[in-house]
């Protein structure tokens, strides 16, 4: 399969669509190595990856749930319980964070975006390795207590929770929409026209 076909066919697997085992150490290293070729403004290498293995996932989720319940605002306790219970079934939880270097000529935003590009590389490498993967929000990890639970310092900014496991179903192809509706040609001051015409 070409690299482009791999990108076109990549799709996420929700936690309920994956099962144990999580990728072994060799596979995991190959997957994470892909982060090293993400675009990196200033060659800062702001990558910071923390893995929670299957055995630790339930206790991590319980601690995260407790901290979230105690300190969260604008989110229903029932939703917190539902989300953290759902995550308990993950074969592996990966928290990818940006190790922010400040002050620096490269903005904090660019450093976070470099890590986000690294996260997409993880998803693509997982697809290549036939590993189930999905990117979930780090809303819970924005809380200081959850931040600390993962051993993060104040300079480290959570970017993605990525769940990894084995696909329950092999055929996960999705119909993707046509890119044409998102693309424009600039033809003059404030003037755009469709880039791809039928
Ligand atoms: C920054 C970011 C945060 C996301 N957070 C969640 C999330 O918390 N819950 C969720 O169901 N999907 C979340 N998603 C979307 C999934 O990762 C996934 O892309 C979506 O289910 C569509 O599947 P696909 O990747 O196969 O198109 C997030 C995606 C991104 C980029």
Ligand 1 binding pocket includes 122 (Cβ within 6 Å): no
Domain residue spans in the chain? 3-171
Note whether 20 and 167 are within 8 A (CB): no
What's the confidence (pLDDT) of residue 198?
73
Ligand 1 binding pocket includes 64 (Cβ within 6 Å): no
pLDDT, tens only, 76-110 = 999 999 999 999 999 999 999 999 999 999 999 99
pLDDT, tens only, 167-179 = 999 887 899 999 9
CATH 3.40.109.10, domain 3-171, yes or no: yes
Note whether 136 and 160 are within 8 A (CB): yes
At which residue do the structure tokens 């924005």 appear? 142
Identify which of 92, 84, 77 has the alpha carbon closest to the alpha carbon of residue 129: 92
Identify which of 181, 154, 196 has the alpha carbon closest to the alpha carbon of residue 48: 154
Length of the chain counted residue by residue: 198
Token pair belonging to 83: 């989300």
What's the confidence (pLDDT) of residue 71?
87
| Residues of the chain above pLDDT 90, percent | 89
Report the first-to-last Cα separation within the chain, whole angstroms.
28
């Amino acid at each position: 399969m070409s690299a482009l076909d791999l990108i076109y066919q990549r799709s996420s697997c929700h936690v309920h669509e994956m099962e144990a085992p999580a990728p072994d150490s060799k596979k995991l290293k190959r997957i994470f190595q892909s982060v090293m070729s993400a675009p990196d403004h200033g060659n800062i290498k702001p990558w910071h990856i923390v893995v929670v293995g299957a055995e630790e996932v339930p206790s991590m989720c319980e601690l995260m749930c407790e901290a979230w319940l105690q300190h969260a605002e604008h989110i229903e306790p029932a939703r917190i319980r539902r989300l953290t219970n759902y995550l308990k079934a993950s074969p592996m939880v990966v928290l990818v964070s940006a190790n922010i270097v400040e002050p620096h000529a490269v903005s904090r935003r660019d450093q976070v975006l470099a890590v986000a590009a690294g996260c997409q590389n993880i998803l693509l490498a997982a697809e290549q390795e036939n590993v189930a993967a999905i990117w979930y929000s780090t809303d819970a990890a924005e809380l200081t207590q959850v931040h600390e639970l993962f051993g993060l310092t104040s300079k480290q900014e959570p970017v993605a929770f990525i769940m990894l496991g084995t696909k329950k179903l092999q055929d996960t192809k999705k119909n993707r929409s046509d890119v044409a509706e998102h693309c424009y040609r600039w033809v003059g001051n404030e003037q755009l026209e469709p880039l791809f015409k039928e």
